[in-house]
Amino acid sequence: MTHRKWTVEEKMSVVMEMFKKDRPVTQICRSYGISDAQAYKWRDEALVAMQERLSGRKNGNGNRSSQGEIERLLKLVGQQAYAIECQKKIAQGLPL
């Protein structure tokens, strides 16, 4: 199986659509042919890069505060994934 190389512009398009919240992430991902996990990974990378850039850091490699932010964002993604799964079960009438 070959992996497609996504351009920065394509990744930005996906992330910006996610930020707009006009459509569900699942629908956005389906239209681009990517998984939800990939889209959330790109979103998290974009958020970290924005924070680093806005704080005046050009490269956060090895920076403890960046690592803490990554961990915070990963925890947030986990919480969102759990919430999504709960909403799916509720919509299907299944017990949590």
Give this prediction's pTM: 0.56
* Domain around 12: 8-92
pLDDT (tens digit per residue) in 34-84: 999 999 999 999 999 998 888 876 654 555 677 888 888 888 888 888 888
Q: Is residue 34 part of a domain?
A: yes
Q: Is residue 57 part of a domain?
A: yes
Q: Is residue 59 part of a domain?
A: yes
Q: Is residue 3 part of a domain?
A: no
Predicted confidence (pLDDT) at residue 16 exceeds the cutoff of 60: yes
Query: What is the pLDDT, as a whole number, of residue 20?
Result: 92
Give the total number of structural domains in the chain.
1
Query: What is the pLDDT, as a whole number, of residue 68?
Result: 84
Q: Is residue 14 part of a domain?
A: yes
Confirm if 22 and 36 have CB atoms less than 8 A apart: no
Helix axes 25-32, 8-20, angle to 10 degrees: 160
Predicted confidence (pLDDT) at residue 5 exceeds the cutoff of 60: yes
Q: Is residue 2 part of a domain?
A: no
Q: Is residue 1 part of a domain?
A: no
**Roughly how many angstroms between the first and final C-alpha of the chain, as a whole number?**
36
Q: Is residue 30 part of a domain?
A: yes
Task: Let me know how many helices (H) and strands (E) the chain has, helices first.
Answer: 4, 0
Beta-carbon-side half-sphere exposure of residue 50 (alpha carbons within 13 Å): 10
